[in-house]
Amino acid sequence: MNSEEWNDVLEAISDIWNDVLEAISDIWNRFTLTVEESVKALSDFFDSLYNDEIKYKQNHSPYRHKRNRCFKDQPNKLYKVERRLQKNLPYQRRNY
């Protein structure tokens, strides 16, 4: 093969590589757009969750009071009873 044929082959190969690189760059650009959209959607979702939690905390006190006892603001649990600690007991009857 002479040099002109080699130049033609090299030009054909470079054209193919340019087409491949353009296709890869187009695919990468589409991928980055998709990732940016998903990141924006996730950030909006978590922002709404955070804002809902802040609104809930502003409207509710962390404790509810009932007969000189403080309970955490949680739903009633029917299966578990938390006893109140008694104060000023003798040593044998103390509950730590």
SS3 78: coil
Q: What is the pLDDT of residues 33-50, one digit of tens each?
A: 999 999 999 999 999 888
Give the pLDDT confidence score for residue 4 in this predicted structure: 81
Q: What is the pLDDT of residues 59-84, one digit of tens each?
A: 666 555 555 555 555 566 566 666 77
86 Cβ partners below 8 Å, 6+ apart? Answer: 93, 95
Q: Give the 3-state DSSP-derived string for 3-66, with helices as H, strands as E and coil as C.
A: HHHHHHHHHHHHHHHHHHHHHHHHHHHHHHHHHHHHHHHHHHHHHHHHHHHHHHHHHCCCEEEE
Give the pLDDT confidence score for residue 25 in this predicted structure: 96
Average pLDDT in the chain: 79
CA–CA dist 34, 54 (Å, integer): 30
Give the pLDDT confidence score for residue 24 in this predicted structure: 96
